[in-house]
Amino acid sequence: MKYEVTDLTKVRRRPERAIYDRDLVHSILDEALVAHIGFVDDAGVPRVIPTAFSRIGEDVVIHGSTRNLLMTTLAKGGRACITVTLIDSLVAGRSGFGCSMDYRSVVIYSSAEVVPDSEKPDCLERIVQDIFPGHRIRDHRENELKATLVLRFPIREVSAKVRDAGCLDVEDDYASDRWAGRFPVSLEIGPAENCPRLGPEVVIPEIAAGLPSRKK
């Protein structure tokens, strides 16, 4: 299954790296911990805010305070650009041009829909389970839910870009005496440090030993 290419998502630079495959887009979104969301504020200034997010089906879902500029601006329905980037390696080439990175990125153009109050608890639970599978939290309180905006952005206009080439030098550079190589980069999530104020009845859950890999 592929996403439709639109004028906005057509990759002009290095189109050979552009991918519109749904499974690939999903896998990049699911592995990432933060998205960088761009919007234009009321004064016309571009702003980019990092934020935790989850993919739920064909939506990117974020949540935040009802007093947060990103949330309140986007709740009005303005355009957003949601960018997610995973760095896979640093490539030291034989020339400046040959120095690069292997990466996987996704860019989504979308506008927010405000998640109605009735769906908020379910949505927030899915966000928690996305990051901490199996983690049990207490029920939300009414005042907490009221203070929280949940926004969903339908994934329709989207492109992924992937570089997975390692060293890629100008042909006549390969015979030279310059060294080249790639340094693998990965995001490591260690085992949990317990909260120093755990209650006496607490059972340490399985995930404390280590979260399951986000790379599927």
Q: Is 46 in the site for a copy of itself (CB under 8 A)?
A: yes
Q: Which residue, 192, 195, 187, 181, is CA-closest to 215? A: 187
Q: State which residue, 141 or 216, has the beta carbon closest to a copy of itself.
A: 141
Residues belonging to the chain = 216
Q: Is 167 in the site for a copy of itself (CB under 8 A)?
A: yes
Q: Which DSSP string do the residues of 124-172 spell out, in sequence order? A: HHHHHHHHSTT---PPPPHHHHHTEEEEEEE--EEEEEEE-------GG
- Binding a copy of itself by CB under 8 A: which of 2, 76, 135, 146? 135
Q: Is 30 in the site for a copy of itself (CB under 8 A)?
A: no
- Binding a copy of itself by CB under 8 A: which of 116, 177, 213, 216? 177
- For 206, phi then psi, to 5°, come to -60, -40
Q: Using CB under 8 A, which of the segments 16-24, 35-43, 54-62, 111-119 binds a copy of itself?
A: 35-43
- Distance, in Å, from the CA atom of 1 to the CA atom of 119, rounded to the nearest integer, reads 28
Residue 215 CB, shortest distance to a copy of itself, in Å, is 14
- Binding a copy of itself by CB under 8 A: which of 116, 203, 213, 216? 203
